[in-house]
A and B are shown apart, each in its own frame.
Chain A
Amino acid sequence: MRKTKKTTGRGKARRDNIRGYAFLAPWLFGFLALTVFPLFYTFYLSFHDVKLTALGVETKPIGLDNYASALLRNIDFTPALVDFALMEAIYAPAIVLISFILAILLNQKIRFRSAFRVIFFLPVIVMSGSVMHQLMDSGSTEIVWVGQIFIFQIIYNYSALLARIIEILFQNFAILLWFTGIPIVLFINGLQKIDRSLYEAAQIDGSSSWQSFWKITVPIIKPIALVTTLFTIVQLGVFPINPVYGMIQDAIYNTAGGLGLASAYAYIYSFVMALIIGVAYLILRDNEPVPGAKKKKEEVLYE
């Protein structure tokens, strides 16, 4: 009797609610207290002059002054932010593209496949801010100095902007590759879930492998590309190649500007980050449903 009562109807819904929230409770409390509340509190602090004393927090409203300091008075912050945005704009697409290509290569029937995968994943394990800093500092990451290559000079004469982009891209090319570890695995995983029969059907219909790639592989992989891109954008932010993080940390310790200025920095930075993520989302979201892809996507989702 108890059994039937428990597993049907409203009893089950109520039981699921209680149990679900019981298991969720630690995370939920942490999320509300240590993420949601701080989000609003940082916003509040960014309009105040904040002093952390032995007695607690002293705040004095100063309006937009912190933002003015950050954007107008501090001559380092805005350039650092622009550098960061530029780096994201160049690195993130490059990383996603390179990891997609490597995933396609690794998804073939080739020898030493697992050895290559182990190599490409290794940086995920050893990459920390300090290791990266030491390697870059000692010049271990510079493989070629592009400025010295003849072709680069030609490009530079043609377009200085393009040359700058190439320079940024290749300056720390090894470090750029180190960010592909997790994206490669995600892409391979996505590629392996594509039904082979789709390609066979396309081939019977006279599609070349090039056409199949663009009409089958790319649309199915697109949602994974979105996730990978977002992941890469976030990851690029947390390493010391991001100059803004260091500035925010300095502002936290700096008693002159105080936590209010640091909060303003954090909000401006997060706003830029949100813009970058928004752009990536608009470019990669699923805007054109492709026949066959829809079903596959659901399968990928619920497998």
Chain B
Amino acid sequence: MSKNNKVPVKKKFDRKLFFHRLRYKVIGYNVVDGIGSRIVTYTILIAISYIFFYPLLKMVSMSIMSPNDIINPEVDWIPEKLSFLNFKAAWYVLEMPKTLINSIWYSGTLAFFQTTVSALTGFAFARYQFKFKKFWFSMVLISFIIPVPIVLIPRIIIFTSIQSSTGIKLIGTIFPQLIMALFGQGINSAILILIFYNFFRLIPTSLDEAAHIDGATAFEVFWHIILKLSVPTIVTVFLFSFVWNWNETYVTNTFVRGAIKLLPIQLSSFDSVFGDLAPKIPGQANVNRINEAYKMAATLISIVPLLITYAFAQKQFIAGIENTGFKD
């Protein structure tokens, strides 16, 4: 009797404990612990990574396909015959070494000025309690939200009228964008200012005070003390600014208008340029029809410099965004 009595009780207890343990193993008390949730986590992350890479993988795969492979429905990823002629053609149509060098100095110059003014602005907000500081700070953030087209038209008018009144050529040169960068109105300036602002606030003010006692001016403090301590941040901001200016085509197109051949702009007009240059492509007699392979080869060529930059500086990039500490 007593035995019979005990068994169901024990069974009930056991089942509860069993499920409890199972639950712990699979889900865990924290979502982190269980095996089940780990498998789910890895599956999601790997699947998502695959989708992230998919366009890039497809790009690489298509860029080495011959025209026959492109049309062949049986060829999905791996071409039957490797063809590097696409790269040759794309290299020629993109006017390669020249556009690459142009893009580097163009983005580099803009990034230099943008970094400088972002540092000055970030320093003003981080160090000094001036009047209407909060107002101007919120204006920095709001300037990020303002759509570019709404300010672009008067900017065109401003620069064209300066050009026609002074005779200095501005449209078709780097200067309109350089002036915008120099006065803190370049691409994503608000983010760059925020990165500097958050970093400068971490530097103890006792350092500047000590320097002030020794007779240093505010600019000397900024130049000799603050900037020396901020080299990693300066590098990060410069890299971001460089990449964003590199990838920017809307404003650049408006002001440069093809006068300077830049890599992303050359890529965006690749289809039409290809048509013009196709008969002249060396070593390929009858490349007169554009296909995806050429486009993808060109796209790949245009992002390789960025990929190399990222490979060397991925830590700086991610840390840079972490340091915005984005807030209102």
Q: Which residue of A lies closest to B328 (CB)?
A: A227
Q: Which residue of B lies closest to A45 (CB)?
A: B153
- In the complex, A157 has a CB within 8 A of chain B: no
B152 proximity list for chain A (CB < 8 A): 38, 252, 266
Interface set, chain B 189-236, CB cutoff 8 A to A: 189, 193, 209, 212-213, 218, 222
Q: Nearest Cβ in chain A — how far from B236, in angstroms?
A: 13
A303 proximity list for chain B (CB < 8 A): 325
B150-168: CB near A (< 8 Å → 1, else 0) gives 1111111110110010000
A182 proximity list for chain B (CB < 8 A): 321
Q: Nearest Cβ in chain A — how far from B274, in angstroms?
A: 12
Q: How long is the Cα–Cα vector from A27 to B183 in the complex, in angstroms?
A: 5
CB-CB under 8 A for A174 and B183, given A138-B296, A273-B147 = no
B143 proximity list for chain A (CB < 8 A): 31, 35
Q: How long is the Cα–Cα vector from A133 to B55 in the complex, in angstroms?
A: 12
A96-138: CB near B (< 8 Å → 1, else 0) gives 0000011001101110000011111111111111110111011
Q: How long is the Cα–Cα vector from A45 to B139 in the complex, in angstroms?
A: 23
From A39, A119, A129, A267, B49 is in contact (CB under 8 Å) with A119
From B153, B161, B265, B292, A252 is in contact (CB under 8 Å) with B153
CB-CB under 8 A for A185 and B161, given A119-B52, A130-B249, A224-B326 = no
Q: How long is the Cα–Cα vector from A267 to B149 in the complex, in angstroms?
A: 9
* CB pair B150 A30 closer than 8 Å: no
CB-CB under 8 A for A39 and B146, given A20-B124, A23-B121, A129-B247 = yes
B43-67: CB near A (< 8 Å → 1, else 0) gives 0110011011111101100100000
* CB pair B136 A24 closer than 8 Å: yes
B164 proximity list for chain A (CB < 8 A): 54-56
Q: How long is the Cα–Cα vector from A230 to B328 in the complex, in angstroms?
A: 11
Q: How long is the Cα–Cα vector from A101 to B243 in the complex, in angstroms?
A: 27
- In the complex, A143 has a CB within 8 A of chain B: yes
* CB pair A134 B52 closer than 8 Å: no
From A19, A199, A231, A270, B150 is in contact (CB under 8 Å) with A270
Q: Describe B's contact surface by its main secondary structure.
A: helix
Q: How long is the Cα–Cα vector from A99 to B219 in the complex, in angstroms?
A: 41
Q: Nearest Cβ in chain B — how far from A282, in angstroms?
A: 15
* CB pair B295 A270 closer than 8 Å: no
* CB pair B184 A26 closer than 8 Å: yes
Q: Which residue of B lies closest to A109 (CB)?
A: B32
* CB pair A35 B48 closer than 8 Å: no
* CB pair B307 A128 closer than 8 Å: no
* CB pair A106 B318 closer than 8 Å: no
Number of A interface residues at 8 Å Cβ cutoff, please give it: 105
From A105, A123, A226, A259, B153 is in contact (CB under 8 Å) with A259
CB-CB under 8 A for A57 and B161, given A105-B44, A129-B249 = yes
Q: How large, as a class, is the contact surface on chain B?
A: 35 or more
- In the complex, A77 has a CB within 8 A of chain B: no
* CB pair B121 A24 closer than 8 Å: yes
B322 proximity list for chain A (CB < 8 A): 185, 188-189
* CB pair B149 A266 closer than 8 Å: yes
Q: How long is the Cα–Cα vector from A105 to B253 in the complex, in angstroms?
A: 40
Q: Which residue of B lies closest to A116 (CB)?
A: B45
B13 proximity list for chain A (CB < 8 A): none
- In the complex, B268 has a CB within 8 A of chain A: yes
* CB pair B31 A209 closer than 8 Å: yes
Q: Nearest Cβ in chain B — how far from A271, in angstroms?
A: 10
- In the complex, B270 has a CB within 8 A of chain A: yes
Q: Which residue of B lies closest to A227 (CB)?
A: B326
B301-324: CB near A (< 8 Å → 1, else 0) gives 011001101100010011001101
* CB pair B302 A130 closer than 8 Å: yes
Interface set, chain A 1-40, CB cutoff 8 A to B: 3, 6-7, 13, 16-17, 19-24, 26-31, 33-35, 37-39
* CB pair B292 A139 closer than 8 Å: yes
From B146, B222, B303, A126 is in contact (CB under 8 Å) with B303
Q: How long is the Cα–Cα vector from A238 to B133 in the complex, in angstroms?
A: 29
Q: How long is the Cα–Cα vector from A241 to B156 in the complex, in angstroms?
A: 24
* CB pair A42 B151 closer than 8 Å: yes
What are 30 A-B pairs at a CB distance below 8 A?
A: A20-B127, A26-B121, A30-B182, A30-B184, A33-B158, A33-B183, A37-B154, A38-B150, A38-B152, A41-B153, A42-B151, A42-B153, A110-B42, A116-B45, A120-B48, A121-B321, A126-B303, A130-B249, A131-B299, A140-B58, A174-B54, A185-B322, A189-B322, A209-B29, A224-B326, A245-B149, A248-B149, A259-B157, A263-B153, A303-B325
Pick the 9 closest A-B CB pairs, nearest first: A30-B183, A20-B130, A20-B128, A128-B247, A27-B184, A23-B124, A38-B154, A130-B268, A140-B58
Q: Which B residues have a C-beta under 8 Å from some C-beta of A?
A: 29-32, 38, 41-42, 44-45, 48-49, 51-56, 58-59, 62, 117, 120-121, 123-125, 127-131, 133, 136, 139-140, 143-158, 160-161, 164, 179-180, 182-185, 189, 193, 209, 212-213, 218, 222, 243, 246-250, 253-254, 264-265, 267-268, 270, 292, 295-296, 298-299, 302-303, 306-307, 309-310, 314, 317-318, 321-322, 324-328
Q: Which A residues have a C-beta under 8 Å from some C-beta of B?
A: 3, 6-7, 13, 16-17, 19-24, 26-31, 33-35, 37-39, 41-42, 45, 52, 54-57, 101-102, 105-106, 108-110, 116-131, 133-135, 137-141, 143, 173-175, 177-178, 182, 185-186, 188-189, 199, 203, 209, 213, 223-224, 226-228, 230-231, 234, 237-238, 245, 248-249, 252, 259, 262-263, 265-267, 269-270, 273, 277, 300-301, 303
Known: A174-B51, A227-B327. 14 other contacts (CB 8 A): A20-B127, A26-B121, A27-B184, A30-B180, A34-B158, A35-B146, A38-B150, A54-B164, A110-B41, A119-B52, A119-B53, A125-B306, A209-B30, A259-B156
